[in-house]
Amino acid sequence: MPSRFRLSPTHLLASASRICVFSLATLWTSGLALAQEAAPEAQPVASKKNFLEQFWVSLGPMYFVVFLLMSIVLVALVVRSILAVQKANFIPDDLVQGIETSLEQNNPQAAAELVKADESFLGNLLNAGLGQLTKGKEAVLEAMQVAGDTETMKAEQNIGYIALIGNIAPMVGLLGTVQGMVKSFGEIASSSQTPKPSVLAVGIEQALYTTLVGLYLAIPAIVIYNILRNMVQRQIQAAGAKSEELIEKFQEAAK
């Protein structure tokens, strides 16, 4: 894929942040609009509630706090993950330039010292390969493969929690939906007379709001996770190719 079509970490950070902010803003405004439409005209006090008050009443304290914490954690995880998938953490330019310069000057020892001091994805691959350099090419590639699997697992764990929120949020919303419907049907079962619509509406409102908020959290979380996962895979492939290229230069210098 041509480089002009690739998302830089900076662009991805801006896009992901806009998605999160847009989703949360839409959540608040949509909820307020629904609340205003559902509120009777004879109750002007209810229409004066702000966003947080409306969601506090509609979701209930427990679900309000849960979803608020999940929103904060999601934004924090997105920012942390975007910083983690930057190229500098996978293929540092200064490391590559330092290795190539040292090898061109017939100083493989200095190049090896640079590798040992580096903790990037590429640095860990090369460090594993250099440890088996005297045992032949197959041993070197096998050691780099094992190190690559370990580093890949670490890189994917950094973004895995975003997917976790994307999976949990709808389940929390579903739990609130079931709880709200149980509450409404409980009112019907326990009432000796026909329950007032306003009484039933409390449980139904909670059921709909929890589902709505759960989806508003899950959708951007899943989208952002897949974007970041694709970026991680591209960085891993690039680091693997660069590590093989550099290890061949080390082998040539050792001859």
* Pair (106, 222) in one structural domain: no
* Pair (57, 15) in one structural domain: yes
What spatial distance separates the first Cα and last Cα of the chain, rounded to whole Å?
A: 36
- pLDDT on residue 15: 55
Digitized pLDDT (tens) for each residue of the chain, 255 residues in all: 333 334 454 455 555 555 554 555 555 454 445 444 444 443 444 445 665 676 677 777 888 889 999 999 999 999 999 999 999 999 999 999 999 999 999 999 999 999 999 999 999 999 999 999 888 888 999 999 999 999 999 999 889 999 999 999 999 998 888 887 777 777 666 766 766 666 666 667 777 888 888 999 999 999 999 999 999 999 999 999 999 999 999 988 876
- pLDDT on residue 171: 93
* Pair (114, 176) in one structural domain: no
* Pair (127, 173) in one structural domain: no
Give how far the C-alpha of residue 72 lies from the chain's centroid of Cα atoms, to the nearest Å. Answer: 12
* Pair (103, 211) in one structural domain: no
* Pair (138, 170) in one structural domain: no
* Pair (203, 114) in one structural domain: no
Residue 255 lies in a domain: no
User: DSSP of 174-194, one letter per residue?
Assistant: HHHHHHHHHHHHHHHHH-SSP
* Pair (174, 83) in one structural domain: yes
- pLDDT on residue 179: 81
Amino acid code (one letter) for 110: A
- pLDDT on residue 247: 93
Residue 241 lies in a domain: yes
Number of structural domains in the chain = 2
Residue 130: domain span: 93-147
* Pair (81, 101) in one structural domain: no
Residue 236 lies in a domain: yes
- pLDDT on residue 226: 96
* Pair (17, 83) in one structural domain: yes
Residue 153 lies in a domain: no
Residue 31 lies in a domain: yes
Residue 112 lies in a domain: yes
Residue 104 lies in a domain: yes
Do 100 and 249 meet the contact criterion of CB atoms below 8 Å apart?
A: yes
Could you give the CA distance from residue 9 to residue 13 in angstroms, rounded to a whole number?
A: 6
Residue 1 lies in a domain: no
- pLDDT on residue 178: 83
* Pair (76, 182) in one structural domain: yes
* Pair (112, 84) in one structural domain: no
- pLDDT on residue 208: 82
